[in-house]
Structure 1
Amino acid sequence: MFLIVPIVILIILIFSAIKILNEYERGVMFTLGRYTGTKGPGIILVIPFIQRMVKVDLRIIVLDVPTQDVISRDNVSVKVNAVVYFRIVDPSRAIIQVANPFEATSQLAQTTLRSVLGQHELDEMLSERDKLNLDIQRILDQATDAWGIKVSNVEIKHVDLDETMVRAIAKQAEAERTRRAKVIHAEGEHQAATMLVEAAKALGADPRAMQLRYLQTLADISAENSSTIVFPLPLDLISPLLQKGRSQD
């Protein structure tokens, strides 16, 4: 009877010493409080009361950055949120160098998001998201490298504006479309005028070309269903007659 209790305790200690780590897990080992290595995956033996193991997940973690109030360089207040993809690449540093790597990365992502976006104007936030994502990712990756964390990607999800700014941007876009329409119309008028001048020069180079154009115009008018027909008479056709009449006088 007295041997059963020690045997049961021994069995419990043996089973408590056996740890199984999955392929995506590592165990940071501490012996009498000192770091003695990283183990895993597979079966790990931990000596009770002497050793302690801290389990670390190496898979990519998706961190949702809460909505941040950002004031752009052109003094526009916006609300921005983002998502950060990172993973632990050095389990020992992630446990030894920082108390809570996930919370530390989240807080750093929030401050970096406000800092980077605050250096840009609203138009850049809306049109250059890829560049801003790379800037934020690069800064976060450099800052978390000492913690054994690799930030692989950052994506800005939403840039929310208040109703006043939405209406102002809509008016600006409408004015820009109107300006482009006027520019296109002016360019068309300029091209048409240039082509008309070139056509007039071509017709004026040879009087016979003007006569052919006159006959073509008469043909076009006669093809129309109209009770009134107007015959345009170019001065080039009658100028020889006028000159002949003056010479006879």
Structure 2
Amino acid sequence: MSEDFEVGGVGAAANQVSSAITEYNKRTCRVLVDRVENVATAIRKLNRRKEEEKEKFHDCDYLKTLIKLHKVLKNIKEFINDVSQLKGLSKFLYAKDIKSKCLALIDELETTCKDLQFGIMISLEDRNLEEKSLSEDVVKMTEFLKTIEGGVTDANNQLKENHEAICHVNVGVEKVQEDTDEIKIKLNAIFEEVIEIKKKIYKREISLASHIDMNHLKEVNERLSSTESRKIFKRLFNGIDVRAVNRSVREQ
């Protein structure tokens, strides 16, 4: 890789960190941005003096360290993106985890810059201010996460209540469905009965009395009843009283 690429790539990474927009953990992000701006200044100085310090860019270990710095800056940028946006906070269980990660990145950045002989000095006063900023963010973020957790708990409880209500409604719907099915069965049975009754009503079943030859009947002179066109007579058939109607073949 060329020296221009190495220095330019590190400088671009530093600029991206400095321009990051933050919504949460602003103090923590500010600490990192200040550190990265110091590194950016050292990189610009190195770029201006690359002709004078050309031997550094021919040193394999120095170039590897420069590449490592580029990686550290990218990690810092990703960390800021995570802790400064709500969607990235889920990666951290506690607010103190954010502080611990920030301090680890600062330590890695300091070590890399020392290996590159950047000569960046951080005063004791600045370090104390950094510690204060990080601790204040821990307090604020802890309160914020508790609020979020409470909101999630309330939402979960509401979802549970809604689920129970839906289950209750489903049970009611199933009961109504069972009752409806039972009513349908009863109605179908009644309907079938009605159909059978109607069949019996409209079915013309004609039952005729047994035909007896007149020669086998003995006359008894006793008339039981009469109509305009036919008469019913009492007769004896094999010694048994029977009732007979005189009918023509056509009537049959």
Scaled by the length of structure 2, what TM-score is found? 0.29
More helix by share: 2
* Higher RCO (CA-CA < 8 Å; seq separation 6+): 2
Larger radius of gyration: 2
Larger strand share, 1 or 2: 1
